[in-house]
Structure 1
Amino acid sequence: MTQSVDHETVVSRLLSADEILILCHKNPDGDTIGSGTALCLALQKLGKTAAVLCSDPIPAMYAFLPITVFDGSFTPHFVVAVDVAGIQLFGDRNNMPQYAEHVDLCIDHHGSNSGYAYETMLDDHAAATAELLTALIPEMGVEITPDIAACLYTGIATDTGCFRFTNTTAATHRAAAALIEAGADVENLNERLFECRSHARMAAERMALESLEFYYDNRCALICLTWDQIQAAGVAGAELEDLTSLPRSIEGVEVGLTLRQQKDGSYKISVRTGHDTNACNIARRLGGGGHPRAAGCEISGNLDNAKHAILDEVKKELDRSASLNAAES
């Protein structure tokens, strides 16, 4: 069972450690990559040996971040996980399992965190792990440089949909403001992260929209991409992350589902919900987790099995929400 720790303890652990390995989750997004790279840069500024490891390749859209990828040139003596809610999210490539089994410290913002690390700093009110690190890094005695600011802004902006999602708070905007003051080039970053889509990404979106289906009196919308379609489009997984908001953006839809088949045949399912429905409740019952408005899980089996499993949970949550609303009226 993990031990919950505060900022002061985390700073103490990081300052006393060296040969530090920072782990990101598989299918990396902007928050795990941005947070991992920012923490790595901060530790290196303190004269420590540090590097970042991910089971999957770093997506091309984040290639501008100055990431030091672990190459095995040192033996890690302290292992930190950033933005990783459960041990199953680490992946199994690049020797990840041998390090994921012994995580000394986890820094995370997911309320569904399973407590796999020896110590955990968790704040599920934060919009992103990068928001936590925006406060933590100065407490380590490290100035936030323009490079660190770019990493942290990437994490915050991507996890909030460029500050559009309901997880965005006043504290999130204050963190972003601090990063802008530290030198984050938001015009350039926002263009890279939100305004530039490859031809492959647009081809994948077209195929996803062709799969659009509605359920439960149009309160639920579902899109799907098979592995063959993803390969045919030639699109990287990270470029597909913003597809998850598409089905929920349709008028009258309370629950949006995006199913993406993985190489092993399983389906990665992203759940996005409106104010009356809890996405985490849906995903958690299928072994996943996340936040009240954005969550996810993975389901093995064919597409029909995956659809049946997730739609059953969606119906339970829609019925629960309807019952609560009826009782309050």
Structure 2
Amino acid sequence: MLTVSDAAGALRRFDNVLILTHVRPDGDTVGCAAALCAGLRAIGKTAYLLPNPELTETTRPYFLPYAAPADFLPERVVSTDVATVGLLPENAKRFIGAIDLAIDHHPSFEHFGKSNIVRADAAACGELVYSILAQLGPITAEMALPLYVAVSTDTGCFAYANTTAATHAVAAALIRTGIDYHTVNKVFFRTKSRKRMQLEGSMLSACEFYDRDRVAVLSVPLSLMERFQASESDAEDLSSLGGQIEGVDCAITMRELRPDVWKLSVRTGARINATDACRLLGGGGHAAAAGCTVEAPWAEAKRRILDAVAKTAPDFAQR
């Protein structure tokens, strides 16, 4: 396992670098990739991001300035915030086995790179990328803005339990570069489309409760997305909704990606380890935020994740 100094040294030796992000890209994977690309260019390297077809309207502006042209041939490949090769987009699958450096912060990280660095205690992969870039040279505003997106989104604007003093210290250092963090906060945390609010209303009205109302299951079938003609941007981070319900310490969000293919996002408090539950279904993540994918009709997919949670929770109340 590499140290931060080792990773920075490797990046100094790399050139013609292609950076990979994960499927359904969030602010952390996009922010880390964009910042790393900017940092490599700042020390004279050629670097690009592999285009990701699932970018949302909120993440696209940070990604597109660094997107690789179709004819770019990389000499080195790096991944950011990717815990397992199963989370790579289809156009990145060809690089499985050829990833020179994997940078991640998930406890379930699978060490698939030729070299790997992971900081499981970091609230966001952006914290780790910040440490690496700081060893390559000064952190510029060009690097700091996407890094702020990375750190703020993975901590729910510093409200989630994963936020630490180190997280705030990194955010403060990024803000000192003069970035427009006010706009980031407004766009990501204080703006919702009408379609998003309709989605949330329908999810809450159909929410089911288990385990003495401590476990909430919210569903986003394809039919719901179609009813409101909602886009991926409208559905971004819907998994944070259930945890806002009073008394709920385990929120399960079931998002139908394709017919009978469900992305299950689990957000928990201290009583239940989300990674332990999702690992039973082939997934992983963090203790308080994890996910997995289940191919089954809705009722069966719901039963499987509830069974996994029940096996993990010490006092799950069956009914």
For the aligned pair, the TM-score class normalised by the smaller chain equals over 0.9
SS at match of 2:290: strand
Aligned to 2:48: 51
Aligned to 1:102: 98
- Partners of 1:307 and 1:174 lie apart in 2 by 40
Deviation at residue 211 of structure 1 after TM alignment: 2.0
- Partners of 1:76 and 1:264 lie apart in 2 by 36
Deviation at residue 76 of structure 1 after TM alignment: 0.9
- Partners of 2:315 and 2:99 lie apart in 1 by 37
- Partners of 1:33 and 1:189 lie apart in 2 by 14
Aligned to 1:126: 122
1:214 partnered with 2:212: no
Deviation at residue 55 of structure 1 after TM alignment: 4.1
Partner deviation per Cα, 1:166-219 (whole Å, 9 max, x = no partner)? 110000000000000012222111001111111221122122123200012112
Query: Superposition pairs for residues 113-262 of structure 1, below 5 Å?
Result: 113-141=109-137, 143-262=138-257
* Matched letter for residue 303 of structure 1: W
Partner deviation per Cα, 1:59-115 (whole Å, 9 max, x = no partner)? 1112332531122232111100000000100121xx211123321111100010011
Q: Is the 8 A contact 2:216 2:251 kept in 1?
A: yes
State the aligned residue count: 316
* Matched letter for residue 289 of structure 1: G
* Matched letter for residue 41 of structure 1: A
RMSD after superposition: 1.7
Comparing 171-180 with 311-320, greater Cα deviation is found at: 311-320
SS at match of 2:58: helix
* Matched letter for residue 129 of structure 1: C
Q: Which consecutive residues of structure 1, in runs of 5 or more, have no partner in the other structure?
A: 323-329
- Partners of 2:236 and 2:308 lie apart in 1 by 22
* Matched letter for residue 69 of structure 1: A
Q: Is the 8 A contact 1:227 1:263 kept in 2?
A: yes
- Give the TM-score normalised by the residue count of structure 2: 0.94
Q: Is the 8 A contact 1:66 1:147 kept in 2?
A: no
Q: Which runs of 4+ in 1 moved over 6 A?
A: none
Deviation at residue 238 of structure 1 after TM alignment: 4.8
Aligned to 1:10: 7
Q: Is the 8 A contact 2:260 2:298 kept in 1?
A: no
- Partners of 2:164 and 2:274 lie apart in 1 by 19
Using the aligned pairs only, state the percent identity. 37
- Partners of 2:61 and 2:123 lie apart in 1 by 23
Q: Which consecutive residues of structure 2, in runs of 5 or more, have no partner in the other structure?
A: none
Structure-2 change in CA distance of 1:196 and 1:214 (3 Å): same
Aligned to 2:22: 25
